[in-house]
Amino acid sequence: MATCCCCSAPHRPSAFLGSPLRHPGNPLCRKGSLVMVSTFKVTALFWGPRRIKEPRELNPSLGAYKLLKSSSEGVSVDDKTPREISLSVVSSISDISSNDWDACATDATSPEKFNPFISHAFLSSLEESRSAIKETGWLPQHIVAQDEYKNVIGVVPLYLKSHSYGEYVFDHSWADAYYRYGSQYYPKLQSCVPFTPVTGHRILVRNTWYTDQVFDMLVMALKDLTTKLQISSLHITFPSENEWHKLKQSGFLPRIGIQYHWKNRNYKNFDDFLMDMKQSKRKNIRQERKKVLTHNLKMKRLFGDEIKAKHWDSFYKFYRNTTDNKWGSAYLTRDFFHILGSKMGDHILLIAAEDEGELVAGALNLIGGDTLFGRLWGCLPHVYFPNLHFEACYYQAIEAAIDLNLTKVEAGAQGEHKIQRGYLPVTTFSCHYILDDDFRKVIDNFLVYETEQVKHVMQLLHESGPFKEGII
């Protein structure tokens, strides 16, 4: 059964979201351009024979910036007002207090739109469990902005990466082009949440009269760090749309992608949602749910303290079964699930399927301020129940979101099959800062071409949607 989430092993890049298409109009395939690509050798992308060079300096000083005095009405500037912001790099999120980090994250998003993935708890769970560390190709290089009184004003989750796994914005063709041209693509800088294709703020700044100044300082620091480390590029994946627009103005190349989200239109219950569907789609969903019931499976929703250590051990087996069967490698360790449960239990929903008292399958979700995020799915090796994946990942999530009065469900990366189950395509964003001018021009041309394709596909997907006319 396919995974529906972000934290599993890598998906193959889709034709229009990563690999250059064999088409005369594609600038990465155009004869006479900087790069000529005919076939891709994956071994050359990540662990090929050429040695990946190490940056000359890690954790470099990023300097200090003077704050411009505010001329805004009502803003008082006195002797205690910060006048300078210093920027530094830390190699572990544990070097930053959870209170300071989360204050920046909360101000960047607002409490009612709490995003669990940019919290200190989630990111530290990845590092403490040794899932996102130097040895796995994710060297933390988080940027911190402080005033002269040592108050943390802004932070950026950032990693120095030696590969492109676990990102879900595919740059495999770019890495291959660098390699073929005799250049080094890795290491590169990546601002993201590891293994998690969830849109959210990446430049987290406290709400002050100088917020915009600190934001600009952090963007400048990101670019400066890319130059200081003498690496190919910096990538900011799944930022907010507002950040995406600002970063475009700062010289980043913009890129878009597609995900599938379910939207709550003030539904009272699941049947209320089904009444918005076309008759054929409504009938299909009811039949799929009915088939699961015929197997006498018991579906449970476990929250917080209801999720015990035995549940996490079982879920890790599900996760490994999915990764081992599909891709052969797992990003997350067993400890990750236990640490996450201890730190973020109140924001976790585990949908479990039991067969005669045995836990046989499950779907892991995180609860945000207004969104239910579907992350991981798996089952025992010997288990096969038709449509159980759809029930656990999609239908149970919709019911839970309605019960919790949440605005939407994000069901993870990929999967056009989600459309027929009420999850519609939405645009995702990423930004890319390429140091080499020649490669930058070629990649920019490619992204213009790719963006046209993505927009066309989005239109086609919306036109074939499952809802009655006039609902959307």
- The DSSP string of 379-425 is E-TT---TTHHHIIIIIHHHHHHHHTT-SEEE--S--GGGGGGTPEE
Tell me phi and psi for residue 225, to 5 degrees.
Answer: -65, -40
Measure the CA–CA gap between 367 and 363, rounded to whole angstroms. 13
> Do 351 and 363 touch, CB atoms closer than 8 A?
yes
Which strand ranges, in their side-by-side order, compose the sheet holding 64-66? Answer: 64-66, 84-90, 142-147, 152-156, 204-205
- In angstroms, how far is the first alpha carbon of the chain from the final one? 30
Eight-class DSSP state of 20: P
Q: Are strands 188-191 and 233-237 parallel, antiparallel or unpaired?
A: parallel
Bridge partner list, 65: 85
Domains of the chain, CATH where assigned: 42-67+82-257+427-463 (3.40.630.30), 261-424 (3.40.630.30)
pTM of the model: 0.88
Per-residue pLDDT for the chain (472 aa), expressed as one digit of tens each?
334 544 444 443 333 334 333 333 444 443 334 333 333 333 333 333 345 566 656 666 799 999 998 655 455 555 678 999 999 999 999 999 999 999 999 999 998 999 999 999 999 999 999 999 999 999 999 999 999 999 999 999 999 999 999 999 999 999 999 999 999 999 999 999 999 999 999 999 999 999 999 999 999 999 999 999 999 999 999 999 999 999 999 999 999 999 999 999 999 999 999 999 999 999 999 999 999 989 989 999 999 999 999 999 999 999 999 998 876 679 999 999 999 999 999 999 999 999 999 999 999 999 999 999 999 999 999 888 999 999 999 999 999 999 999 999 998 777 889 999 999 999 999 999 999 999 999 999 999 999 999 999 999 998 888 999 988 8
Angle between helices 120-128 and 98-109 (to 10 degrees): 130
